[in-house]
């Protein structure tokens, strides 16, 4: 089943698949509402959808399919190859993701692969996700290195900041002066390259390197 708000796109895909004996387009829709109506009656094995559509996005459709038609596998065919779009689609449970400039060969391969119960992500999509993963790993490594430079006292202060304590409260708890706490906070900000307590807490919580024991 094809879901795209552009008739010419749907016609083009159908034309490409005309001579494929093991693939048949059983329905097509231009929006989420139409797609859901056809899903009830046609029950396709695979639903191939765009993400940008009027009156509801492809993400809305993916959610509905996951909730009400779990046996239908979803493949995204979209011009959006940004990491945020791909990650969200994967989180919603799609079985494949491809850009609209793929070849007929790759389109057929993707459909056949997903039909066998496997996942298919084009080389372009895989590259975007791999680059993002590498960046995340490097970021975590850099953050871990920065944290390793903290003194034991600075780590104690960070943990108390995570608990919501103010500088005066930290000073009282650690039996040190308010000014000493502020000096430690300034050093911590510099080592972790953050500008304020909010950024500090966010950085600590976002990275798995931090051990709060």
Identify the bridge partners of residue 63 per DSSP, sorted by sequence position. Answer: none
pLDDT (tens digit per residue) in 19-32: 899 999 999 999 99
All structural domains of the chain, each given as residue ranges with its CATH number in brackets, are: 2-122 (3.40.50.2300), 149-206 (1.10.10.10)
Q: 189: pLDDT confidence band, cut at 50, 70 and 90?
A: confident
CA 145 to mean position of chain CA atoms: 26
Secondary structure class of 77 (helix, strand, coil): strand
How buried is 169 (Cβ within 10 angstroms: 0-12 exposed, 13-18 middle, 19+ buried)?
middle
135 torsion bin: left (phi>0), alpha (psi -120 to 50), beta (else): alpha
Q: Do 1 and 29 form a contact (C-beta atoms < 8 A)?
A: yes
pLDDT at 34 over 70: yes
* Residue where the block lists tokens 């996942």: 119
Q: 55: pLDDT confidence band, cut at 50, 70 and 90?
A: confident
Neighbours of 176 (CB within 10 A): 15
Give 85-89's long-range contacts (Cβ < 8 A, gap of 24+). 85/51, 86/125, 86/128, 86/129, 87/129, 87/132, 88/59, 89/51, 89/59, 89/62
Neighbours of 82 (CB within 10 A): 11
CA distance 119 to 111: 10
pLDDT (tens digit per residue) in 66-110: 999 999 999 999 999 888 899 899 999 999 999 999 999 999 999
49 torsion bin: left (phi>0), alpha (psi -120 to 50), beta (else): beta
Q: What is the pLDDT of residue 66?
A: 95
């Amino acid at each position: 089943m094809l879901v795209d708000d552009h008739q010419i796109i749907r016609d083009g895909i159908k034309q490409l698949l005309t001579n494929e004996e093991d693939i048949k387009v059983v329905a097509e829709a231009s929006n989420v509402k139409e797609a859901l109506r056809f899903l009830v009656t046609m029950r396709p094995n695979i639903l191939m959808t765009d993400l940008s559509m009027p009156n509801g996005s492809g993400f809305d459709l993916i959610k509905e399919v996951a909730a009400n038609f779990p046996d239908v596998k979803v493949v995204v065919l979209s011009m959006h190859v940004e990491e945020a779009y791909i990650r969200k689609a994967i989180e919603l449970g799609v079985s494949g993701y491809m850009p609209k400039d793929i070849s007929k060969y790759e389109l057929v391969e993707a459909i056949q692969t997903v039909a066998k119960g496997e996942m298919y992500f084009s080389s372009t999509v895989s590259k975007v996700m791999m680059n993002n993963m590498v960046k995340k790993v490097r970021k975590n490594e850099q953050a871990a290195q920065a944290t390793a430079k903290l003194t034991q006292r600075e780590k104690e202060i960070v943990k108390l900041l995570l608990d919501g304590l103010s500088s005066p409260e930290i000073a009282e708890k650690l039996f040190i002066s308010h000014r000493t706490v502020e000096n430690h906070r300034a050093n911590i900000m510099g080592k972790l390259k953050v500008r304020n307590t909010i950024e500090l807490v966010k950085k600590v919580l976002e990275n798995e390197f931090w051990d709060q024991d």
